[in-house]
Amino acid sequence: MELTRRDALAALAGAGILAGGGAAALARDGFREGTDPGSEGAPERAETERVVDALVVVARGVYPSAVENVGSFVETYAATKLDSRPDFRTGATETLDALDAEARITFDARFDELGPAEGETVLRRVGAETAEPDPGGTTAERIRYYYVNEVLFALYTSPTGGELVGIENPQGHPGGTDSYQRGPER
């Protein structure tokens, strides 16, 4: 099942990042373009790109195999969220160091350079699978919060993520008041 731009917009709207016709303001639209390493704000943009890439690695590791178009969906969702929530961006950036450290030990690479299986291995090794999500907690708890739960929240509040489970209007998505009245045959 393919995740679409609409899914990313829906997840962003649900999280309060976008309201109404905010599609034009998506940070992902060109967020990698024109990045002169010497320009003002370039280091921050580079960090943001690494966090977005890391979130894509995480999503490819923790999303179900039936989901397609993960990279585009997560990039659209995450770039905009990081752009509009500075506190979240700071927390995610700081937490990336811990993922990088484990990735270097295990695979001699930065986390955002890993493939899905390698990324999942790192997540398991740091204990993110069973950790409680906590933005101020241990390394495992922060990784669970900023990375694993971030991409799971994006997926399972989107229409496509909901439909994977069997609910076309999942909690957190403003899908109207028709679906609750419909039976399974629709």
Partner 1 sequence: MSAGGSGPASATATPDRTPSRKVDVCVVGAGPAGALAANRLADRGHEVVVLEAGPRFDRDERRERMERAIRPAHGTHSVWDMGGERDAYTSSGEWFYPLNVARVKGVGGSTLHWQGMVMRLHESDFERHTRDGVGADWPLDYADLRPYYAEAERALGVAGASDNPFAPPRENPHPMPAFPPSYSDSIFAEACEEAGVAMHSVPNARNSEARDGRSECVGFGTCQPVCPSGAKYSADYTVEAAESKGVRVLDRVPVQRLETTDGGDRVGAAIYATSDGEEHRQEARQFVLAAGGVETPRLLLLSRSADHPDGLANSSDAVGRYFMEHLFAGTGGRLDRPTRQNHVGFITSESHQFYDNDFEGVGPIKLEFLNYAGPSPVEQALTADEWGDDLLDSLRDSYGTHIAMGGLVGQLPRADNRITLDPSTTDDHGNPVPDVQWSLDDRTRRSLTKTNDIQTRVFDELGADVEWTVGPDNTGPAYHHMGTTRMGDDSDESVVDPRLRTHDVSNLTVASSSVFVTSGAMNPTLTIAALALKAADHVDDDL
For position 56 contacting partner 1 by CB under 8 A, the verdict is: no
Q: Which among 11-19, 20-28, 29-37, 95-103 is the span making contact with partner 1, rule CB under 8 A?
A: 11-19
Contact 122, 106 (CB under 8 A): yes
Instruction: Tell me the Ramachandran region of residue 22: left when phi exceeds 0, alpha when psi lies from -120 to 50, beta otherwise.
Output: alpha
Cβ of 67: how many Cβ atoms within 10 Å? 18
Query: Toward partner 1, which CB reaches closer, 62 or 103?
Result: 62
State the nearest-atom distance from the C-beta of 107 to partner 1, in Å.
19
Query: What's the rounded Cα separation, in Å, for the pair 94 and 31?
Result: 20
For 68, 107, 158, the CA distances from 165, given in Å and listed in that order, are 15, 34, 11
Query: Toward partner 1, which CB reaches closer, 98 or 164?
Result: 164
Q: Using CB under 8 A, pick the residue from 22, 71, 91, 172 that binds partner 1.
A: 172
Q: Residue 185 is which amino acid? A: E
State the nearest-atom distance from the C-beta of 94 to partner 1, in Å.
16
Which x/- pattern over 57-76 shows residues binding partner 1 (rule: CB under 8 A)?
----xxxxxx----------
Three-state DSSP at 68 gives strand
Instruction: Kindly list the residues in this chain that would bind partner 1 in the complex (CB under 8 A).
Output: 13-17, 19, 61-66, 120, 129-130, 132-135, 145, 148-149, 152-153, 155-157, 161-162, 164-167, 169-177, 179-184
